[in-house]
Amino acid sequence: MASLHRVKIAPKGMGLNDFVAHQEGFFAAEGLDVEFDWKTFKGTQSSWKGLNYFERPQDKPYTESKEDVIQGACVWGTICNASAGMGRVVADAYGDSPWAIFVRPDSKIRKPEDLKDIPISVGMRAGSHFNVPYRLEKYLPLEHIKVVNTGGFGARLKALLDGEVEAASLLPPQIAMAEQLGLRKIIEDTFHTLWWVPESASPEGVRGYLNALQRAEEAMDKNEQKYLPLWKHSVPAEFADYRPWDFTKFGRGERFVYKRIPQKEFDDTMAQVKRWGLDRYLKERDFEKLTCPTAA
């Protein structure tokens, strides 16, 4: 019997596919021996205050520990990270995830236009950050769209609850948590995510990983309610005992789409990042050179 291919994964936490694939043995069925990188995962939930680019928790496997870790982020973040020298983009699949901006129930902010010059809590150069100008520009001039770097999705929700910020850019499962806490949603939409891997990643390992996520997607299509309790893995530690979360109302979160990301989306992303003045760390800008080959 062939030995399993060892793969280290830092879940995004915006969806359940990683946890379903692990629980149901889909990784092993694809020839993978998976280890979850909980340190990086929990770091991406925490505060990034005072940390520069290349110092964030998700950067450290590339800049410090030099570990081979499969990670995921928004399309913008993944492409920018790879372009800046942190790994390669997995272009053969993408995620489709909810996004929203929330305020406290007593806030005077009622509509997107009310966010003019209001610092919105984000994790810099990640989905929570890029979504803000990307979605708010139809309501406000770019110079009136402000962000403040708080960090991971757990930290952003906590900053909003503690009154440190007036608004926060949230992803699953913090969107469902915010709703259960009575916070008010100002704007919502969806966005795409991508996985990125170190340059040394095995094409066979990456393909097996994607296949396992697809198996998990199909399993959830058949019985979503069975897997909703797995959201417990994505609730940050400081919120674990905050209240009895009703996971039955959390929904699917991010969905896995086994289709190649279009070249046009890459080109549009690069153009937006340059227009926003967020391209200072970009080096390689050729889509094919930034992508990781995967086994057929």
Cβ neighbors of 91 (< 8 A, separation 6 or more) are: 194, 260, 261, 287, 291, 292
Is the residue at 296 inside a domain? Answer: no
Are residues 255 and 281 located together in one domain of the fold?
Answer: yes
Residue 295, in any domain of the structure: no
Q: Are residues 165 and 126 in the same domain?
A: yes
pLDDT in tens, 171-194: 999 999 999 999 999 999 999 999
- What average pLDDT does the segment 230-238 reach? 91
Most confident of 50-64, 147-161, 213-227, 281-295: 213-227
Co-location of 78 and 196 in the same domain: yes
Could you tell me the residue range of the domain that residue 227 belongs to? 5-97+192-290
Domain-embedded: residue 255 = yes
Phi-psi region of 5 (alpha: psi -120 to 50; beta: other; left: phi over 0): beta
Q: Same structural domain for residues 61 and 104?
A: no
Counting the structural domains of the chain, the total is: 2
Cβ within 8 Å of residue 274, ≥6 positions away: none
Average pLDDT over residues 63-74: 84
Would the pLDDT of 1 be above 70? Answer: no
Look at 226 and 281; give whichever has higher pLDDT. 226
Please state the rounded mean pLDDT for residues 114-141. 94
Whether residues 196 and 269 share a domain: the answer is: yes
pTM greater than the 0.75 cutoff: yes
Residues of the chain above pLDDT 70, percent: 98
What letters, b where the CB count within 10 A reaches 16 and e where it falls short, cover 105-144? eebebeebebbeebbbbbbbbbbbbbbbbbbbeeebeeee
17-38, pLDDT tens digit by residue? 999 999 999 999 999 999 999 8
> Has residue 243 got a pLDDT over 80?
no
Mean pLDDT of the chain, nearest integer: 92
What is d(CA 121, CA 90) in angstroms, rounded to the nearest whole number? 28
Residues 202 and 171 in one domain: no
